Amino acid sequence: MKPHPFLLAATFVASVASVSSAQAPDPTEAEYYRITTLPTPAGTALEVGSIDLLPEGKLALGTRRGEVWLVSNAQTAGAAVWNNESQVFEAESPSQPQAAYQRFAEGQHELLGVTWKDGWLYATNRYELLRRKDQDGDGKADLFETVSAKWGVSGDYHEYTFGSRFDKNGDLWALCCLTGSFSSKVPFRGWALRIKPDGTMVPTCSGVRSPGGVGFDADGEVYYTDNQGPWHGSCTLQHLVPGSFQGHPGGNDWYALAPNMGPRPQDPMDKSRMVVEREKVKELVPPAVYMVHGRIGNSSSAIVCDQSEGKFGPFQKQLFVTDQSHSSISRVCLETVNGVKQGAVIPFLKGLKSGPIGARMGADGKFFVGGSDRGWGARGGKPFAFERVEWTGKVPFEIHEMRAKPDGFELTFTEPVDPNTAASPESYSFREFTYIYQSAYGSPEVDDVIPKIEKIEIGADGKSVRIKLDKLTKGHVHEVHMDGVRSKGGRPVLHPVAYYTLNEIPAK
C-alpha cells in the first residue's frame, strides 16, 4: 500500500445550512416513525453518500464532494426547523444536545462508501479504495494509504463507484457504474469487485448497470440496487452471487481480464423477457425484487438491514431500501425458492427532506440517512439533508411478510386481522405483470394477467391469510392491493399494497 496525499480541514459545530423549502412527512406514517432533520455545518453542502458507525457512538459521513465528516451526538441531537425569513435550517430546541461535526479529511472524488475497521476509516471513491487514520488523536486524518486502484475511469461524469462495509469474509465490495450508465469504456465498468484485505481485487459479478447502493442481509448475503435503463425495465434489488451475470452485457468485454470468472456469458436476446433468457444464459441471476417504477420509486439507492432486535419496530431482519428520487424508504421481505432469492417490496416511509443516498442503522434502532438532489432532483425539496428515523414505539397495522406458495401467497400482518374483511375476496385485488428485457431504456409494464381468487383461509394465529389464486406466472411481479382488510380493532392497513417478484414457484 502506498501513501496518498490529502488535504485536511477544521472542526465545526452544526448551526445552519442554506437550503430551499422542505416537504413535510406524512402525518399518518409519523405516528409510527419519526423523522428528525439534523442541523448541518454552515458554509458547506453536506451531500451524504455513505455512512458508517464508529466507536464511542460517532458516525462517519462520506460525501459526494469528497469529504469525510465525523459526527458526535447524532443519536440524541435535536431537530432542525426551516426558517423562511433567514432561509436556513435552525435548531428546533437550542437546549437539546446538538450534533457536532468535524471534517476528518477532504480532497477525494465522490465518497459513496465508508467503513471503519481497526482504527482505519476506509472510503471508496470513483477510482480507488483508500484508507486513512488519525495517528495523533486530533480528530483529523494524518496517514493515508491506497488499498486498491485497479478499476478504470474514463473521465465521464457518470462513473460512480459504490463501496460496501466489510462482508462476512473480511472483503470489501466495489460496484462500478457503467460509463455514462450505458457502456463500458474502461476496465471493469459494469462489474462488482471484491477487495481482499491485502488489496487484491477479485472480479466477482458482471452485468451491473447503474448501482445506487450495496448492503447485506441478516445472513451476510450481498445485494445492490440497480436503476432503470437499458436492460432494466425498472429499478431492482439484485443478489450478488459470485460468478453471476446481473443482466446488462455492456461490461462483458472485460471477461478477458477476469480469468477467475470463466468464459464470457452468452449475450441476452433483445426485447425478450428475463424468465426466458434465464433458461439460455446460465450465469444470469434475475432481480430478487423489482422496485416497481413510478410507484415504489425511480432511483433506488441504499440498502439497510434491521438487526436492532425490535428497536426499530416489528420488521427485524428485513431490508429497507431508500429511493433518491422519491425521497422515501421501502421495505423488502425476501425468501429463497429453488435456490433463487425473491420477495416483496412494500412502501414504508415518505417525507425525507432530500434524495437519500447513504444510510445506516445502529443496534439501537436509530436509522440515519443523508443525501442530495444534485443531478436528478428529489421530491424532498432540499439540495441536501442529514436525518434520523426512529420508531415511536407504536406498532402500525401493516403487511409483515408476503410469501409464495405453489398456488398463491401467504400474507402475514403485524397484528390480528378482522376475520370477516380478511376472508372476503372483495377486500383484495391482484394483478401480474412483467417488463421487457431489452437494450432500449426502461420498459412499460407488459403481459398483464388478472388472476382470480379461489380460496382464502385465515391462519390459527389470526395474523396470517392464505390466498389461493387460479394462476401464478413465473417471472412476473404479482401486485396485490388489500384496501378492504381491517385489523381486529378496525384499522386499515397503513400501506395496503405489495409487489412480489415471482422468479420461482415453490413446489410445496
d(CA 495, CA 397): 9
Task: Provide the whole-model pTM.
Answer: 0.94
CB atoms within 10 A of CB 271: 11
The C-alpha cell that represents 388 in the structure block? 434520523
* pLDDT of amino acid 77: 86
At 82, the pLDDT band (50, 70, 90 cuts) reads low
User: Does residue 46 contact residue 384 with C-beta atoms inside 8 Å?
Assistant: yes
Scored b (16 or more CB within 10 A) or e, 197-209 reads eeeebebbbbbbb
At 98, the pLDDT band (50, 70, 90 cuts) reads confident
Strand order, beta sheet including 11-13: 11-13, 100-105, 68-72, 59-63, 48-53
The one-letter amino acid at 199: G
Quick: pLDDT tens for 186-203.
Answer: 999 999 999 999 999 999
Average pLDDT over residues 315-330: 98
Q: Is 58 helix (H, G, I), strand (E, B) or coil?
A: coil
At 16, the pLDDT band (50, 70, 90 cuts) reads very low
Quick: pLDDT tens for 367-420.
Answer: 999 999 988 889 999 999 999 999 999 999 999 999 999 999 999 999 999 999
**Torsion (CA) 204, 206, 210, 213 in degrees, nearest 10:** -20
* pLDDT of amino acid 15: 37
Quick: pLDDT tens for 106-165.
Answer: 999 999 999 999 999 999 999 999 999 999 999 999 999 999 999 999 999 999 999 999
At 89, the pLDDT band (50, 70, 90 cuts) reads low
d(CA 238, CA 245): 11
Q: What is residue 25's DSSP assignment?
A: P
d(CA 175, CA 189): 9
Residue keyed to cell 409494464: 445
- Mean residue pLDDT across the chain: 92
Structural domains present in the chain: 2-391 (2.120.10.30), 399-501 (2.60.40.1220)
The one-letter amino acid at 496: P
